[in-house]
Amino acid sequence: MSEFPKNIDEVINSIAKEFKIRVKGMTHYDTLNRVLEWTEKNTKKRIDLTYMETYVTVTFYKDKFPFWPRLLTWCHDNIPSFHYLGKIEGESLDRLPLNKSYDFYDKKLRSYVEYARNR
C-alpha cells in the first residue's frame, strides 16, 4: 500500500474538524503518517499515526516550550540553524489493526485525544 489507509484518514479528518485540531501529513522522511496537533498554553501536543504496512502505530508527543510554542516551532522550521526549544516527551499508545470499521477507529481516536488533553 502506498497511501495512508482511507478509513483511518476519514476518522482523523472528522475528529480534527470536531475538536478544531490541525492535521498534518507526511511529517516523516521515510514513512506515511498523519499528525493531530494542537497547542495548550506553552505545550504543543501531537498524536502521531504512522502506517507500518500491517498496522498503524499511535504515539503521543508533548513538547514543552519556555513561551510561544507556535512561534518557536515556526522559527525552527523556517530559520536555518534555529534550535528546537521544545522539550519532547513521547509515549507509545497503541497499534491499530487495518480494515476495521469507522466506529472502531472513531472510538479509539477519541480516547487518544481525551487522554492527550488530560496530560
**Whether the predicted model's global pTM rises above the 0.75 cut:** yes
72-102, pLDDT tens digit by residue? 999 999 999 999 999 999 999 999 999 899 9
Amino acid at 6: K
114's grid cell: 481525551
33's grid cell: 503518517
- In this structure, of 6-10, 26-30, 38-42, 45-49, the range with the lowest mean pLDDT score is 26-30
CB atoms within 10 A of CB 62: 17
**In 3D, which of 53, 51, 19, 52 has the Cα closest to residue 36?**
19
State the Cα–Cα distance between residues 46 and 105, nearest whole angstrom: 17
CB atoms within 10 A of CB 72: 20
